[in-house]
Amino acid sequence: MRMLCQSALLVKNISPSRWIALSAAPARKHRERTMAPPLAAMPDIGSPRVLSIQSHTVQGYVGNKAAVFPLQLLGYEVDPINSVQFSNHTGYPTVRGQVVNGDELWDLIEGLEANDLLYYTHLLTGYIGSLTFLEMVLQVLQKLRTVNPNLIYVCDPVMGDEGKFYVNPELVPVFRDKVVPVATMLTPNQFEAECLTGRRIRTEAEALEACEILHALGPSQIVITSLDLDKKLLLIGSDKLNKDEPARQFRITMPKIEAYFTGTGDLMTALLLGWSYKYPNDLSKAAELAVSSLQGVLRKTIKDYKDVGLAPNMKQLELRLVQSKEEITSPKVSYPAERLTLQNS
């Protein structure tokens, strides 16, 4: 009774509506503190979730711009973090923009963690331009795997192509010694596979040997996404479901298209992630679908440029990604995988 009287004295000059608002405030704050994360962010509910850390361009399709939309079409929730934000890709005469540093990356991760939003089924990484940022990505991976120990890490070790580096060569040993061992799927091109293994790759047999070396470092799935041999363009895949069993290896022969594209490697890795999750025990099937999707996008791109009278070999050629929805979601398998073994390749 005494407490009620004291309460009455305290609130005697407060209007009824104000009193209702005050009395509800503690309950509202409690609800805010204990509010569950969105359904899309919770384990085992809804679609698979991908955290994609890659480059970004305002105009054109490379990095996250090439990866997010296709993955969304395939049914994935995708949260992009941009390692760089540029006006356009580097094929243009002028590029402007910003580079994200490791501390800024970690700040974003801490924001997600503070709101219980760090559950992901996949981590996807592409272009990373600095050593400090790459080291921070490894910390991000470790953090994500404390939330979901079964998280799949798909790593495109973007370092260069055709004998030329895009990044400082000091990143090579970090990729080889620290990143590759913790990756689930690795998708280097020919040059990057050579950098990671320290071996030249000029034959299919050498490509398969490179896959074995990379398997020994950690990843269970290796896809050398482009291998230029004897005027043929090949994809070489190697899937090791069990460490005690030999890898299942295959090749896919692709047509060479006489045009200059950017973002194809980023798109290919995203498609491999997307289809491999749908076919977790059949990397060759996932690769067939990914290659067919990519080839469909390239054909659509060339056709659209030719239709308006533009040459398909111009350096500013941009992928027609939005216009290629059907090629992404419903590819017709035109490039079948052929089984290989290290002995008879």
Can you give the length of the chain in residues? 345
Handedness of CA 222, 226, 229, 232 (dihedral sign): positive
* Dihedral in degrees, nearest 10, Cα atoms 262, 267, 268, 269: 120
Of the candidates 270, 221, 268, the residue with the CA atom closest to the CA atom of residue 243: 221
Q: Burial code of 79-100, b = ≥16 C-beta within 10 A, e = fewer?
A: bbbbbbbbebbebeeeeeeeeb
Rounded Cα distance, 237 and 178, in Å? 22
Contact at 8 Å (CB) between 196 and 214?
A: yes
Of the candidates 295, 298, 299, the residue with the CA atom closest to the CA atom of residue 261: 298
Residue 160 falls in which region: left (phi positive, over 0), alpha (psi -120 to 50) or beta: left
Amino acid (one-letter) located at 277: Y
**Which one of the listed residues 79, 107, 230, 266 is annotated catalytic?**
266
Contact at 8 Å (CB) between 340 and 251?
A: yes
266 is known as an active-site residue? yes
Rounded Cα distance, 324 and 318, in Å? 13
Read off the tokens for 200: 């030249």
Active-site residue list:
266
